[in-house]
Each structure stands twice: as C-alpha cells, then as structure tokens.
Structure 1
Amino acid sequence: MTLPGGRPPTSQELVRAQDRLSFIYLQHCTISRDSSAITATDERGTVHIPAAFVSCLLLGPGTRATHQAMSLLGESGASIVWVGENGVRFYAGGEPIARSSRLLIAQAEKASHERKRLAVARAMYDMRFPGEDTAGLTMQQLRGREGARVRRRYREEAEQHGVTWKKRDYTPGDFESGSPINQALTAAHSALYGIVHSVIVALGCAPGLGFVHTGNSRSFVYDIADLYKTDLSVPAAFSVVASGNPDISTAVRREMRDLFAGQKVLETCVKDLQNLLVGEELEEAETLADVVALWDPIGNRAAGVNYGWD
C-alpha cells in the first residue's frame, strides 16, 4: 500500500540540531507543504523553507497551518510554537532528531539521584560563573551565589546602556503591564527558551525533568537557558531599550536571531547538554542510531528475538 504525500525523512537525512536555523517567525500567512519544504503564503507571494533546516518555527497572529505542513515539521524534528502578539509560550514539538535514548536515560538517572543531581547543578553554576570553587556547596548556597551575581549583572548592563533599572518584575500573560526593560527581558528570554526547548526535544531529552528547576513541564528548558541569559538575552534586552526602538518585541527577536547565529548558540547548546548529561560530546552516528534493545539487569538483549526458550 502506498501512502499519500512525501516520504518521511530518515534520521540520517535530517540536518543536525546544531546546524539548523535557530528560529523562524511567521505571522499573517498560510503555512502549507510543498514536497520537503514548508511554504508561507500571503498577499505578497510564497516563500519556501526547507523543513529539515528549521530548529524552531514561531507561528504568530494570523497564521493558518495545514495538516501536511505540521506532519512534515514533526517528521523533521522541528519545534513548533504558536505564540501571541509578543509570544511567550511553547505549545508543541516534533519527533526528536535523535533516535538513541542514551541522553534521556542519563538525564533520568542523574535527576533522580540526589548526589548526581547536585553535581549537575554545580556543573551548571561553574559554566555560568567560571573560576569559583563550588565543591561542597549546597543547593541553598548555589542559589544564593547565583542570585547575587545575576542581580549584579542587571545593574552592570543598566549602567552600561544608561537604562533605568529597579528589579525584574513582570506579570505572566500581561506583557504590556511591564516597564520597557522588563518587556524586553521577557521577549528575549522567550526567544531563548524556544531555541533551548528545540534542542532538548531534538536530542530526545525530557523538557520537564530539570535539575535546578522542578515541577514544571519546562524545568529543564529553564535550567539550560539560564546558562546563556547573562551573555545573550540580558544584554540584548538592555541594548534594544537603549536604542529607543518603540517596537520592543520585534527588535528583541531580531537582536536575538543575530546573536544566535553569530555566537553559534545551537552548536554550543548541543555540546553543553551532552557534556552535562554524559560527560562527553556524542558522535552523530551514535545519536542517530535507530536501535531497539530489551532491558535486562545483567545486560541488554537484542530485540526482535523470541526468548521463549531462555
């Protein structure tokens, strides 16, 4: 039986997470499919976008998407996010690019073991604030240090850009109620969350299984995004507000897009995530290997075998 539509791409045909476009934002258009590309059509014409190159697709107000387009994006391992006018939420994701569950198993093992979980939290702190001795620090001590350093970074950026700063203050779901700098920070952090979420999903990890954050379906997203905020979203937000651009959300998105590309954030995020969970960068062949085994306490067994005579 021949199924209608194009053939789903194999894992070997998909573009690696670190080599994809960071994100594409579309609004007021119809999203459809043409072979292995998605199309965006409005009154000006149609644009073709190769689905395998998309890491995160942000669909803003006025967008309509066909079933075929969503199917292709899902098969390609792209994250799909429906957003509002100033978009802050992640609603859906595709199948992971990775076929191996090694990272997911390592994540679950470390997140469920107190000592290993604390070790990952310390490693995250070391990545954000290198040169400090975190050996022996408790989670309470790590949070205290992190809070002090982040507040100091906000003050430094405010002084550098000449922006009035009081504190991080925002109301979820009410973007307009925040001050310009808080609006800019919300928009910048949201863009960063979308990219990090797309990498986590693409590598087959669990977005809700965090180490520092917990209890939320995006706990691990917040953990990993925190690694990059002080170098990406915080300076981007202050820079946009200092420029005086009245369209804060659009200006921030563009600023973050340029930073993602210029600093190779996708590639860095993939490497950092792998190092945190397994202590090494995995070969592409290992993450794409489509292997199914049967668990056994004394060693995994091959699947597809009848063990009725064991």
Structure 2
Amino acid sequence: MATPSQRPASSPRDLTRAADRLSFVYLERCTIHRDANAITAEDAEGITHIPSATIGTLLLGPGTRITHQAMSMLGETGAGVVWVGEHGVRYYAGGRALTRSSALAEAQALRWANPRSRLDVARAMYRLRFPDEDPAGLTRRELLGREGQRVKDCYRTQADRTGIPWKGRRYTPGDFTSGDAVNQAITAAAQAMYGVAHAVTAALGASPALGFVHSGHELSFVLDVADLYKTEVGIPVAFDSAAESPEDVGARTRRALRDRIHELALLDRVVDDIKGLLLTDTGRATDGMTSDMDNVTLQSDRDEQVAAGVNYASLAEESW
C-alpha cells in the first residue's frame, strides 16, 4: 500500500457528492485508524469498517483516539472532522470544513455586509421561529421586542403545561447552580444547542462570527442559529427535565435534548435552514456543502471573476 506522501491527492471530481454521503457519523470510546480506503473504529466489541468517502462529517465524541493516517484519509476524501461532547451536544474543535467551495462563506459575507440584506436575514430568522407572524417591515428594535415577548410567552406556556412554578429567567454567567432547577435546565439546553449549531456551521464552512441578530462575538452566527430552535425544542425539553426531577438536571437535560435532536433529525434541518437563509437570491450554487470541482478564480474589476493560473502581467502592461 502506498504511503500518504506517495498517493496523489484526490480531486473533487473523484469524491462522493455530499447528497450521497451520510450527513454525520458519530463515534465515541474507540480508536480510529485506517485500512486501505476505509477508516476503522476499534472498541471492546471489535473493529468496524466505514468507507471514508461516504462520510460527510465525522463527530468525535468522548474517549476517541484518532491516528495520523486516519486523519490523512479523511482529509483526502473531503470529510469534515469535529470534536464534540457526548452525542454531539457540545462543540470543542473542528478540522477543515467539508466543503472546498467558498460559496456559502461568500454568500454569508455579502448578506452580512449590506445593512438592508442583513436585516432581511434577521427577519427571515424570525419567520422561521414564529411562522404565524409576518415580520416584513419590522425594524430591528421591533424584532427584538417581539422576540422577547414570544420567549416570555413560551416560558409561561411550558410552566403551565408542566406545572412548574415560574419566577422568571435567572442566570448568572459562570455560576450554573445559582438558578433553580428549571433555570439550570434552560441553561444546559441552550449550551447544548450552541454546540450543535457550532458543529454544523463549521462543517458547512460558514463563519461563526458573522451574525445577523447577534453581533460583536466570535460565535455571533452560532447564537443566531441556536436560537432558531429555542422555543420549539430547547425550552420544552428543559421544562420536561426539570418537571421530572431537580436532581442532576443539567446532565439529564442534555441527554433528553440529544434524544429529541435525533427524533427530529434536527441536524439535517439545521443544514437546510442555514443554506436557505444565506444562499437565497445570491445566484450561487445551492449545494453549500461541497463543490464538484476546484473552482478557483481571481477577482477583477466590476465584480468580474477571471481564471486563476494565468499571469496577467502582459495585460496590465498593455493597459498602462
């Protein structure tokens, strides 16, 4: 078998299309190596072979160890690698994105850089969260006010449903135990959703920092994405966990949220929502996960793209 340094790098044309891959593969408590063109996951029960070209993003959970050769193979096949907490509920670090295309990142930057389109995306995010309302024409201050009221209404509704006394949202940063059981559960659910949103954002190649509602933080867009599912998923799960028992409520909330995410196939939905928000009306390919070819161009004047790999010195001299 040839060594990694002797093998030519795969071109995007040789790679499996994103639509034909498994979106996410999660592994924990195993050693990951490679065998020919597959990666292997070895644990106490034996060795499992996974064809590397079928993986969209590999999520590495607690207790995983991965070899250099396995990482080299995953890089050649265009798979993303993300280090996460148990069952993907926290994001710790990520390797290269799954995509070789900059389409999604450029679309995000274009929509973020224009104040009008930035507000349009913020309104679209509100519409995703509360489809029974039309936010067209609302200012940012009006959006924030309505969002705050809808979240308050959600807290009251869930409190009535579960029978939990609700005294308001109380959270002291850095002091998880300062709130009551339901506030601890809400905090745990929010943190877990931040991890999910961060993992998907990294896998798609979008910028975690360029937010449309949140701003000024390296994870502004991650916070935007996580909030899309706050009233539908995170808050109801938190109230259910707190109603079950106040003991160990943080860990139980994360496990319950993990199960709910799996039940709703939420990871696939997050992918679709991000692409729908950023790629609308950009004139770019809708597949923000991968490109079927290396499409590297150079930027010229008047937003023109010219071919790379060409020396333009003679053209520049003619223009002088």
User: What is the number of residues matched between the two proteins?
Assistant: 302
Paired with 2:20 and 2:183, the residues of 1 have a C-alpha distance of 30
Q: 1:256 to 1:5 in 2, by over 3 A?
A: farther
For residue 57 of structure 1, what is the aligned residue in structure 2? 59
Deviates more, 1:234-243 or 1:30-39: 30-39
Q: 1:279 to 1:15 in 2, by over 3 A?
A: closer
Q: Are 2:39 and 1:37 aligned?
A: yes
For residue 81 of structure 2, what is the aligned residue in structure 1? 78
Query: Any stretches of 5+ residues in structure 2 without a counterpart?
Result: 316-320
SS at match of 2:41: strand
- Structure-1-length-normalised TM-score: 0.81
For residue 183 of structure 2, what is the aligned residue in structure 1? 182
Paired with 2:178 and 2:31, the residues of 1 have a C-alpha distance of 32
Report the AA paired with residue 115 of structure 2: E
Q: 1:105 to 1:5 in 2, by over 3 A?
A: same
Report the AA paired with residue 298 of structure 2: L
Q: Report the CA distance between 1:59 and its aligned residue.
A: 4.2
Please, which of 14, 19, 23 is the counterpart of residue 20 of structure 1? 23
Q: 1:49 to 1:94 in 2, by over 3 A?
A: farther
Q: Are 2:168 and 1:167 aligned?
A: yes
Paired with 1:6 and 1:156, the residues of 2 have a C-alpha distance of 59
Q: Report the CA distance between 1:15 and its aligned residue.
A: 5.0
Q: 1:250 to 1:71 in 2, by over 3 A?
A: farther
For residue 304 of structure 1, what is the aligned residue in structure 2? 309
Residues 20 and 53 in structure 1, CA contact (< 8 A), matched pair in contact too: yes
Paired with 1:256 and 1:49, the residues of 2 have a C-alpha distance of 29
Q: 1:58 to 1:301 in 2, by over 3 A?
A: same
Report the AA paired with residue 288 of structure 1: S
Deviations 1:98-141 (A, max 9, x none): 22211211111121211111111111111111232322221111
Paired with 1:56 and 1:166, the residues of 2 have a C-alpha distance of 41
For residue 213 of structure 1, what is the aligned residue in structure 2? 214
Paired with 2:19 and 2:155, the residues of 1 have a C-alpha distance of 34
Q: Report the CA distance between 1:264 and its aligned residue.
A: 2.1
Q: 1:6 to 1:176 in 2, by over 3 A?
A: farther
Q: Are 2:258 and 1:253 aligned?
A: no
- Structure-2-length-normalised TM-score: 0.79
For residue 195 of structure 1, what is the aligned residue in structure 2? 196
1:73-152 aligned within 5 A: 76-81=79-84, 90-152=91-153
Paired with 2:252 and 2:70, the residues of 1 have a C-alpha distance of 28
Alpha carbon RMSD of aligned pairs, Å?
A: 3.5
Q: 1:57 to 1:165 in 2, by over 3 A?
A: farther
Residues 18 and 267 in structure 1, CA contact (< 8 A), matched pair in contact too: no
Query: Any stretches of 5+ residues in structure 1 without a counterpart?
Result: none
Report the AA paired with residue 33 of structure 1: H
For residue 224 of structure 2, what is the aligned residue in structure 1? 223
Q: Report the CA distance between 1:193 and its aligned residue.
A: 1.8
Residues 111 and 211 in structure 1, CA contact (< 8 A), matched pair in contact too: yes
For residue 297 of structure 2, what is the aligned residue in structure 1? 293
Report the AA paired with residue 145 of structure 1: R
Paired with 2:39 and 2:177, the residues of 1 have a C-alpha distance of 36
Q: 1:88 to 1:260 in 2, by over 3 A?
A: closer
Residues 17 and 199 in structure 1, CA contact (< 8 A), matched pair in contact too: no
